[in-house]
Amino acid sequence: SQTIHQWPATLVQPVGSPLSLECTVEGTSNPNLYWYRQAAGRGLQLLFYSVGIGQISSEVPQNLSASRPQDRQFILSSKKLLLSDSGFYLCAWSGGGRGGNTIYFGEGSWLTVV
């Protein structure tokens, strides 16, 4: 069966520090991968998605970036965090292709920028 792992679960970082959140998927190949952000009590905002190694699409211009160095690894990074980057970050995967595949989520990473 497929599993998705995301870490760290909780992170407190000072303003201006770098960020690296990592996500790996097991039990499938060529997945689509996603990073979402969720502000407290709000809906999901899609940040990045990837349909293959090295292929990253950005949905929201900001100081975050994403990379996919391996088929089942997705990394969210920032060189300098802002207070507004605080939130709940969710990694997710779906089958390849287009048009409304079910998305499977990790357990999320809480980021607090202080």
- SS3 state at 9: coil
SS3 1: coil
Q: Which of 46, 53, 65, 71 binds another protein (CB under 8 A)?
A: 46
Contact between residue 60 and residue 39 where contact means Cβ atoms under 8 Å apart: no
Q: How far is the CB of 79 from another protein (least distance, A)?
A: 26
* Nearest-approach distance from CB 55 to another protein, in angstroms: 10
d(CA 71, CA 6): 15
Tell which one of 23, 47, 49, 66 touches another protein (CB under 8 A): 49
Q: Is 98 in the site for another protein (CB under 8 A)?
A: yes
CA distance 21 to 8: 7
Question: What are phi and psi for residue 84, nearest 5 degrees?
Answer: -70, -10
**Does residue 74 interact with another protein by CB under 8 A?**
no
Q: Which residues in this chain contact another protein in the complex, by CB under 8 A?
A: 32, 34, 41-44, 46, 49, 51, 57, 59, 88, 90, 92, 94, 98-108, 110
